[in-house]
């Protein structure tokens, strides 16, 4: 199965600023996914990123707030823009199964103060 490196692992940011999270995969994958895990809650899909096309966002998430780049088949970034304390969450990237299950990165724990 694929191995994902996600950076940064955690960050504390001031409200109104932006943070870009990087996700690097050790093999080429068609689809990459970005999830949010709010405190005490489960994972919610933000968007699906395909190389060479615009990301597809789920209901409640918009491109202006969460712009995504997918420049090649092994890399993607998610930016959390104009942050507020409500954006404090764990953000995770995932790739479609190369074996039997979806693989997740280790997550980025974001705290907005």
Which C-beta is closer to another protein: that of 37 or that of 69? 37
* Candidate residues 48, 74, 76, 77; the one interacting with another protein per rule CB under 8 A: 48
Binding-site size for another protein (CB under 8 A) equals 25
Distance CA 67, CA 50 (A): 13
Does position 31 interact with another protein (CB under 8 A)? The reply is yes
Cβ(22)–Cβ(6) under 8 Å? yes
Does position 73 interact with another protein (CB under 8 A)? The reply is no
Q: Which stretch binds another protein (CB under 8 A): 36-44, 60-68, 70-78, 81-89?
A: 36-44
* Residue bearing tokens 């088949």: 73
Does position 57 interact with another protein (CB under 8 A)? The reply is no
- Least distance from another protein to the Cβ atom of residue 73, Å: 15
* Candidate residues 76, 105, 110, 112; the one interacting with another protein per rule CB under 8 A: 105
Distance CA 68, CA 34 (A): 9
Angle in degrees, CA 105, 111, 113, rounded to 5: 165
Rg (Cα) of the chain, in Å, rounded? Answer: 13
């Amino acid at each position: 199965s694929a191995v994902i490196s996600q950076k940064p692992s955690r960050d504390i940011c001031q409200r109104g600023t932006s943070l870009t999270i990087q996700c690097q995969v050790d093999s080429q994958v068609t689809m990459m996914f970005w999830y949010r895990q709010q405190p005490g809650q489960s994972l919610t899909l933000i968007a699906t990123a395909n190389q060479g096309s615009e990301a597809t966002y789920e209901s409640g998430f918009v491109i202006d707030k969460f712009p995504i780049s997918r420049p090649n088949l092994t890399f993607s970034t998610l930016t959390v823009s104009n942050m507020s304390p409500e954006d404090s969450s764990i953000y995770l990237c995932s790739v479609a199964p190369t074996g039997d299950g979806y693989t997740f990165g280790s997550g980025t724990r974001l705290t907005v103060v």
